[in-house]
A and B are shown apart, each in its own frame.
Chain A
Amino acid sequence: MNDWFRIPSDLQNSYLGLIGLHLREAVIPVLVGLVVALPIAQLCVRLRWLYPPVLWVTTVLYAIPSLAFFVVLIDYTGQTETTVMIPLGVYSLVVFVPAIVDGVRSVPQETLDAATAMGLGPVRRYLQVQLPIAVPAIIAGLRVATVSSISLVSVGMLIGNQGALGNLLNDGQIYHQPRLIWLSVITTAVLAIVVDAVLVGVRLLLTPWMPRGTRKARPAEDRPEPAELVLEDAAR
């Protein structure tokens, strides 16, 4: 059984080490993307005319194939993890910007008025009212961005074994060991599903006011996430 998880020594990493590396390469860019997207989205909410051009730019950036993006970046950041992470962060914007804009816009005017009447300034109103209400939409975006990021890290294998679990794909081919390829695909998929489930848990923790869903209330909550729809919005 342990033979299954043995990793060729040229990768200089254990199985668990590769998983850790993969997670790091996938999650950090998405989190940075989220932090960058927040002010951009706020600008788009404030200045309505800015929203369509921002969506077009993020969509065009999203359409650049990851491999080409990596190769161009090698000139600036070398064959490193950073080179893999920058494009992933850029791709996440196409999901985050519309998700946050829609989430923030969905806050009812009465709620905003009530917050103002209670004496909240614009900053506290944003941080304490608008952002928390937008959490479900943001997490939906986070799920799509993270899962696709985990899948894309593997392509980093092509620029000098920077693809964490993806590096197994190359080793599997050169050493004629299909086991390594299976291991890479299955581990990546399981990793994506586990991270996705963790994010659902985070949403439940962050939004205690939403119906928690006993077995019966589930269907409404478990309907396919609006996350996909968020991505559709990107090019509208």
Chain B
Amino acid sequence: MNVLHYINLFFSDSTHWHGYDGIPTRLAEHVRYSLIALAIAAVIGLPVGLLTGHTGRGGNTLSLIATAARALPSFGLLVLMFVLIGFGLVPVMIPLVVLAVPPILVTTYEAMRSVDPSPVDAARGMGMNEANILFQVELPVALPLILSGLRSAAIQIVSTATIAAYVSLGGLGRYIIDGLYQRNYEKVVGGATLVAGMALVTLGLFWGIARLAVSPGVRRSN
């Protein structure tokens, strides 16, 4: 009953490393689902968050939308979309995007609101237009917080993308769902380890992105 024992069994079995149900294939599928979902969520959440944060209007509406989106159960939404739409990637993407938009939206808004107003006023006084103020003054300062919102969304997506397997798609959730029905704990534990590992890699990636993208001046003042 030792979890470590199962992890060892799972990863040392060479049949787990080849073919359509092999670890490389499932991992690639999982990465693909996660990236698509994160990209869609970012395309929705970032512009809205940046604009509302810049103007400072619509905070209440955002808060309402975020609460409502967070209240929707991911698993229930998946089953509902599967029944309504049928087999495919779309019924999986909808719950993942609904899950990821609130953290991105709310953190981006908060990040823009927490920018010190005096440099913004100075920039406006120097005659910069609103777009330049947004992208050259506010965005660099707000970037660390915005990235942390994206990171939190990414980790939730990676962990939740396992539900794709419930509607007959691939990904690392395959091991967990199949293992459950086959009463094969080795598979379940192995799949869970891979997902947790992928979440850790995501954390590391975002740490790296933050090091590269955040201006040294902003980093020092934090």
How many chain B residues sit at the interface, stated as a range, is 35 or more
Contact with A along B1-21 (1 / 0, CB 8 A): 101000000000000000000
User: In residues 63-90 of chain A, which contact B (Cβ within 8 Å)?
Assistant: 63-65, 67-69, 71-72, 75-76
Contact, CB under 8 Å: B83 / A64? no
Contact, CB under 8 Å: A228 / B71? no
B141 within 8 A of A: no
State the A residues within 8 Å of B (CB).
59-60, 62-65, 67-69, 71-72, 75-76, 144, 147-148, 150-152, 154-155, 157-159, 165-166, 169, 172-173, 178, 181-182, 184-185, 188-190, 192-193, 196, 218-219, 222-226, 228-229, 231-236
Contact, CB under 8 Å: B83 / A173? yes
Determine the main DSSP class of B at the interface with A.
Answer: helix
Q: Among the listed B59, B110, B163, which residue makes an inter-chain contact with A219, where contact means beta carbons less than 8 Å apart? A: B59
Write out the residue numbers on chain A whose beta carbons fall within 8 Å of the beta carbon of B192: 64-65, 68-69, 72
Q: Among the listed B60, B162, B203, which residue makes an inter-chain contact with A67, where contact means beta carbons less than 8 Å apart? A: B162
CA–CA, A72 and B196, complex, Å: 14
Contact, CB under 8 Å: A155 / B152? no
- How far in angstroms is the closest Cβ of chain A from B96? 13
Q: A63-B199, A71-B176 are in contact. List 10 more A-B contacts (CB 8 A).
A: A60-B196, A172-B79, A182-B80, A185-B73, A189-B73, A222-B60, A223-B59, A226-B110, A228-B110, A233-B148
State the B residues within 8 Å of A (CB).
1, 3, 59-60, 62-63, 66-68, 70-77, 79-80, 83-84, 102-103, 106-107, 109-110, 113, 145, 148-149, 151-152, 155, 158-160, 162-163, 166, 173, 176-177, 179-180, 185, 188-189, 191-192, 195-196, 199-200, 203, 206
